[in-house]
Each structure stands twice: as C-alpha cells, then as structure tokens.
Amino acid sequence: MENIGALAILLAFCFAVFSVIASLVGKFARRPFLVLSAERAVYSIWALLTVASGILIYSLIQGDFRLAYVAMHSNRSMAAIYKFTSWWGGQEGSLLLWSWLLASYATVVVYRNRRKFRDMMPYVTAVLMTTQTFFLILIAFVASPFQVLMAGKGIVDVGDGQGLNPLLQYWTMVIHPPMLYLGYVGFVVPFAFAVASVATKQPGDAWIHTTRRWTLVTWMFQTTGILLGAGWAYAVLGWGGYWGWDPVENASLLPWISATAFLHSVMMQEKKGMMKVWNIVLISTTFFLCIFGTFLTRSGVVNSVHAFAQSPLGRYFVVFLALGISATVYLILNRLDYLKSEAQLESVLSRESSFMFNNLILLASCFAVLWGTLFPVISEAVTGEKISVDAPFFNRVEIPIALFLLLLTGVGPLIAWRRSSIESLQRAFLWPLTGGLAVAASLAAFGVRHVYALMSFMLCTFVAITVVLEFVKGANAIRAKSGADLLSAMVELTHRNTRRYGGYLVHVGIVLMFVGFTGKAFDKDTTVDVKRGDSVQIGHYELRVANLESGQNENYRWGILTVGVSKDGADLGTLRPERRFYLASRQPTSEVAIRRRLNEDLYVNFASVSDDNRTVTIQAYVFPLVSWIWIGYWVVLFGTIICLVPSKSRLIWPRTEVVGIAGKHAKVEK
C-alpha cells in the first residue's frame, strides 16, 4: 500500500516538472499540443495526489502502525473523525494536504480557462506547477508521509500509536487547518495570473477581473481559518485568550493583511487605472508571505508554541523563496513600462488618497508583525544576541494602527473620487462624528477611563453610522422612484451593486469584531485554591464549588467539577468545567466551561486538584463583549458572500481611455 502511495507522489512530481517545462516550451515554440499536454498533466497530478492522500487516510483509519506517520499521529482509541484529521496532524501529512489542495485549485483553474486566456494560461500553469514541484520535492524526498517505521530499525511490531495531540481533538480543530490552507494555497492562483499578465505584457486588468472571486473566496477561507483558530484557543486552552502574537499565528496574519490591502487597492486599478505595479507587488507579497508562513511553522527558525519539530525543510523553503522573489522582482522591473498609471493623485482629501493611506497602514502593520516575529533572528544576526519581543510590543504598535484603520474605514467610503471639499466632508461627517463623540462622552461619564477603549468605541460608532447612512441614503433614492418600503429598497440597493454594499457589510462585521476586541480592556480574572463547598467572588458573580465527579473511558480519565453560579444573589444554574488526562499521550487537558452572553462571558477553568482530592484550583474570568468577535465574523462572512453575488446592473466605470504606451503595446502580443 505505502509503496503505491509513495509511487503516486513520485509520479506526481515527475508530471509537475514536465508540466512546467511543457507549458513554457509550448508557449515559446508555439506548440499548442505541448501546452495542452501540460494542462492534462495538471489533471493527472490531482488524480495521483488523491490516490496518495486516500492511502494515507486509509492507513490512518485502519491503524497501520508500521507507518511512522500513522504511529505518531493516530491510535486505536481515537474517534474516526480524528483519525481522519490526523491527515494534517503532522508535518508530512499536512504538506501532502497542501499539495493536494494546490492540485485541486490548479485543476479547477485549468479546466475553467481551457478555452479562455490562451496566451496567459501557459504561464499560469507554469507558476502553479512550479509551486507544486517545490512541495512535491519536499513530500517525495525530504518528508515522506509513507516512511515505514520498521525499515532498518529492527522494530517488529507497533501495537498502538501515540495519537493526535489531545488539545487538537476538538471540532474547530477539525476544520481550522484545512481552512487556513485553503486560504494559503488559494493565493497562488491570483499570483499566477498576475505573473502571467505581466509576462505577456497585458495592458489591462484582465487578471484582476478573472481572479477577483478567487481572491475574495481565498480571503474568506483565511479569515475563517484565523477566526476558528482564535475561537479554538479561547474555548480550549484555558487561558481565555484568542490571540497571543505567537510566530505561527503571525504567519497566518501576514498574508491576510497584505491580501486585505490588495482587495482594496485593486479597486483603484479597476476604476482609475492606478496602482498597477503596486497591485502586482501586493499579490506577489501575499503569495510569498503564504510560503513564508508555511516555512515559519516548519523550520524551527523562530521558537513557537505550535511549530512542527525542527527539520531540514527550512533550507528548501529559503531557496524557493529566494528564487521566487528574485524572479518576480526581475519580471516586474522588466515590464514596468507596461504598467504605467493612467491617472495621478490629485488631492489629499480624495478617495484615491484614502485608499493609498489604507494600503500604507496595512503594509506598515504587516511589516511591524513581520519585524516582531523575526526579531530574534534579526537581532542574532546583527548583535549576536538572540532577543525576542513579546505580545506587549505587538499590542503597542498594532493597536494604534488598528484604530487608524478603523477611522479610514469610516472616512474612505464617504470621500469623493479625485477631490473632496471641506464643506462636503463636514456635511458627510456631521452625524457620524457627533454620534461617535456622544458614545465616547457617555462612556467616560460612566467611568470608563481606558483611552484606547474610548477611542475604539467612538470610532466603531462613527463607522457604523456612516455605513447605516450610506444604506439609508441609497435606499431612499430607490424609494423615491419605486415607492418600495425601506427594507426591500435596501435589498434592491445591495443587489444593484453587491461589491460596494457587501463591502460595507464586511466593514460592519469588522466593527463588531473591534467591539469584541475592545472588551479585552475590561477583563477580570482570579485564580484561587478552594475547598469543596467554598465560594469565589468575581465581578458580580459568585461561584460555589459543589462536587467533583470522576471516571475513565478508553481514551482518557476525567474529573468534572460542578460550580454553582449566582449573580447579585440570583441563581444562574451551574457550570461544569472538566479536567482530562489522556492515556495514550500522558497529557492532561482542561475543558473549560463558558457561560456565553452578549454582554460578557463567564469563563471557568478547572486548573488542578490536590493529591488528597480536597482542594481544587479554579481560574475564573469575566470577558466582556467577547461574543461580538464571533458575531462580527458571521457578518464578515455574510458580507463577503454578498460581494460574490453578481451585481444586477453591470456598472460601467467612468474610466480614462487606454491610450498611449499601454494601448500601443496591447497589440504587440498576439
């Protein structure tokens, strides 16, 4: 079995190399059959990798512990679903998942464009398959998932495996890695189109139009992945946080930030023909940050809680990144003439300039995260001393950045294109600003003294009011004509320009998340040792530790604490935090109990129990507003989906005529 899997991977590798060469040779030598066969190779790679993945999954579920991968990541007593998720539970398997997802994306791209973009497609295929080749080198020669444990080590029989890390045996962890990977891998596609567009000297934005949905969907996957991770950390790890600025978390955030910048700046290119080079740079940055993120998790370069074991993979990634970045930079510099901007920035008070500042800020925040993440590496190289910076550094830099972005979120959509007058801005911002200030003032009157929190709530109100006003204004215009009621006028409005109003909804979601993040400023926590029957006070809550039950199943031993909760004397029922000890991995975990409400969460962790079973340590937290992060996520998701719905009326942008250098060269390539 494992030989078939290994063979499939090897064949896939050969096909990928062939595909790269054939599509490029076919393009230059004008041999359409070679291009076609390169595209067929893409389909075959998908089939081969599906077989390899299928065999790995089968071995995991069957418990074929002869395989090193299975023995390390699966065991007999795990539920079937976790046996399946062990596919991406370790280094080798997750690389295979990466590769398989890339193959799937490539197949869809090649199939959908089999009759379109004939001039660009050979390059698209080549870029996709070069990336594929790289990952297949890793899987075939460096980190094979089909390594047999027994081979040459004198091991005769492996009775049972070590099992998947118990912390990962949780439902969000089932879908978090694939979501994140769907995001990571997905950015290869717009990048491939961007490269193809530059390589073929296309003057226009064809690559942006074709990949707009890809980028959005990919962005959505990545947002989902990040939020699932945050939600998992919150519900499982027992410290009540959802983000810790760990290198691996940062690795997922970096491409997300640059992709967000890209999603905004493409509008400039579509509507004004500006920022053409910039957009190519942004999507390339996003792609390389995705590869970099994968590298960061696997190389052991930076100490991380989540990193895979140290491995020799790092060098391969460095080489791939160096080659890829140099090639991209060379290509862009070589084609600068074809990417001339069609318009100039005219005024500081204009939509264009707000987009520019949005990009500047996003990139600055991306750079700050990158800098902080790599600080140990940089400082070691420069001063010889390894110095790390922690969460406080990131919070200090990123919180002001985030607040400024929030401000732009409100300001940007209201400023006119080209230039805006002060008077029109005063008119547009009168109500939002008044509302924001009113909220901040009343919070301050109620004794809130946290400056950032006040600013954040003010800006959240500000943005929310601007968005509502936009909807109402547009809907009223429709009502004036058709006489429909407000709600259906809003639906009609959204349907007419889904991108714009979907985008506003995404902004609302982000605002809600910010409300949730700001709640962090008001956390309360306590850690106490209590005897059974004793009470703990936290905020308005009183926790009464009642009894402790315990037991054992084949996977773990458990103890469940029953905690009676009352608030200001009123009984609110019980919470039952649990503590488990997983037998296979000999690791304890806590299953926290959370009472989720819109205003605040009560979060109780059963941290430990004394040897005589009398005293228990519990950690209790009150987290105000956390739920709004998850609600905000659903709004973001909804808004993104709206953006994906085709607009009812095709809008024609008043766009400067393409003349001059770009127009001239448009005919060169035939």
Which position among 177, 432, 474, 516 is part of the footprint of other proteins (CB under 8 A)?
177
442 binds other proteins (CB under 8 A): no
Which position among 43, 371, 522, 558 is part of the footprint of other proteins (CB under 8 A)?
371
The smaller minimum CB distance to other proteins, of residues 81 and 486, is found at 81
Distance CA 443, CA 458 (A): 10
> Is 103 within 8 Å of 133 (Cβ atoms)?
no
CB atoms within 10 A of CB 664: 12
578 binds other proteins (CB under 8 A): no
Which position among 386, 473, 596, 597 is part of the footprint of other proteins (CB under 8 A)?
386
In the bound complex, what is the minimum distance in angstroms from residue 333's beta carbon to other proteins? 23
Q: Which two tokens stand for residue 454?
A: 């006040």
Distance CA 305, CA 309 (A): 11
Q: 55 to 94, contacts with other proteins by CB under 8 A?
A: 72-73, 88-91, 94
Q: 381: Cβ–Cβ under 8 A, 6 or more apart, which residues? A: none
Which position among 34, 185, 230, 625 is part of the footprint of other proteins (CB under 8 A)?
230
167 binds other proteins (CB under 8 A): yes
The smaller minimum CB distance to other proteins, of residues 119 and 525, is found at 525
> Is 640 within 8 Å of 624 (Cβ atoms)?
no
The smaller minimum CB distance to other proteins, of residues 404 and 431, is found at 404
CB atoms within 10 A of CB 321: 16
The smaller minimum CB distance to other proteins, of residues 247 and 639, is found at 247
Q: Which two tokens stand for residue 366?
A: 């991306």
Query: In this structure, which amino acid lies at residue 529?
Result: D
Which position among 122, 145, 376, 624 is part of the footprint of other proteins (CB under 8 A)?
376
CB atoms within 10 A of CB 505: 22
First to last CA, the chain: 49
What's the Cα-to-Cα distance from 280 to each of 109, 186, 259, 284, 430, rounded to whole Å? 19, 16, 11, 6, 38
Torsional sign, CA 216, 252, 227, 105: positive
298 binds other proteins (CB under 8 A): yes
H or E stretch at 593? strand 593-595
Spatial CA neighbour of 648 closest among 482, 470, 501: 501
603 binds other proteins (CB under 8 A): no
546 binds other proteins (CB under 8 A): no
Which position among 161, 183, 190, 229 is part of the footprint of other proteins (CB under 8 A)?
229
- The residue count for binding other proteins (CB under 8 A) is 82
Q: What are phi and psi of 616, to 5 degrees?
A: -120, 150
509, exposed or middle or buried, with CB in 10 Å at 0-12, 13-18, 19+? Answer: buried
531 binds other proteins (CB under 8 A): no
Sheet containing 593-595: which strands, arranged edge to edge? 524-531, 615-624, 600-609, 593-595
Which position among 37, 424, 566, 608 is part of the footprint of other proteins (CB under 8 A)?
608
Site string for other proteins, 317-356 (x = CB under 8 A): ----------------------------xxxx----x--x
> Is 186 within 8 Å of 221 (Cβ atoms)?
yes
Tell me the window of 6-14, 189-197, 242-250, 461-469 that interacts with other proteins (CB under 8 A): 242-250
451 binds other proteins (CB under 8 A): no
Tell me the window of 35-43, 199-207, 292-300, 440-448 that interacts with other proteins (CB under 8 A): 292-300
Q: 341: Cβ–Cβ under 8 A, 6 or more apart, which residues? A: 273, 274, 275, 276
Which position among 548, 607, 641, 644 is part of the footprint of other proteins (CB under 8 A)?
607
The smaller minimum CB distance to other proteins, of residues 138 and 465, is found at 138
In the bound complex, what is the minimum distance in angstroms from residue 570's beta carbon to other proteins? 30
The smaller minimum CB distance to other proteins, of residues 341 and 647, is found at 341
Q: 396 to 435, contacts with other proteins by CB under 8 A?
A: 396-397, 400-401, 404
In the bound complex, what is the minimum distance in angstroms from residue 357's beta carbon to other proteins? 8
472 binds other proteins (CB under 8 A): no
In the bound complex, what is the minimum distance in angstroms from residue 631's beta carbon to other proteins? 20
589 binds other proteins (CB under 8 A): yes
In the bound complex, what is the minimum distance in angstroms from residue 456's beta carbon to other proteins? 17
The residue whose two tokens read 């819109």 is 598
The residue whose two tokens read 């308005």 is 540
DSSP string, 554-574: SSEEEEEEEEEEEETTEEEEE
In the bound complex, what is the minimum distance in angstroms from residue 364's beta carbon to other proteins? 5
Length of the chain: 670
154, exposed or middle or buried, with CB in 10 Å at 0-12, 13-18, 19+? Answer: exposed
609, exposed or middle or buried, with CB in 10 Å at 0-12, 13-18, 19+? Answer: middle
Which position among 35, 55, 97, 251 is part of the footprint of other proteins (CB under 8 A)?
251
Which position among 16, 120, 139, 180 is part of the footprint of other proteins (CB under 8 A)?
180
Which position among 385, 554, 612, 657 is part of the footprint of other proteins (CB under 8 A)?
385
Spatial CA neighbour of 306 closest among 173, 187, 162, 395: 173
Tell me the window of 17-25, 263-271, 293-301, 657-665 that interacts with other proteins (CB under 8 A): 293-301
305 binds other proteins (CB under 8 A): yes
In the bound complex, what is the minimum distance in angstroms from residue 430's beta carbon to other proteins? 24
The smaller minimum CB distance to other proteins, of residues 346 and 534, is found at 346
Q: Which two tokens stand for residue 21?
A: 């060469």
The smaller minimum CB distance to other proteins, of residues 233 and 642, is found at 233
In the bound complex, what is the minimum distance in angstroms from residue 543's beta carbon to other proteins? 17
624 binds other proteins (CB under 8 A): no
The smaller minimum CB distance to other proteins, of residues 48 and 236, is found at 236
343, exposed or middle or buried, with CB in 10 Å at 0-12, 13-18, 19+? Answer: middle
215 binds other proteins (CB under 8 A): no
The smaller minimum CB distance to other proteins, of residues 386 and 427, is found at 386
**How many alpha carbons fall within 13 Å on the CB side of residue 316?**
17
Spatial CA neighbour of 239 closest among 527, 34, 431: 527
131 binds other proteins (CB under 8 A): no
Distance CA 541, CA 195 (A): 58
The smaller minimum CB distance to other proteins, of residues 207 and 308, is found at 308
369 binds other proteins (CB under 8 A): no
Which position among 42, 139, 173, 208 is part of the footprint of other proteins (CB under 8 A)?
173
> Is 491 within 8 Å of 439 (Cβ atoms)?
no
The smaller minimum CB distance to other proteins, of residues 396 and 664, is found at 396
Which position among 191, 232, 287, 623 is part of the footprint of other proteins (CB under 8 A)?
232
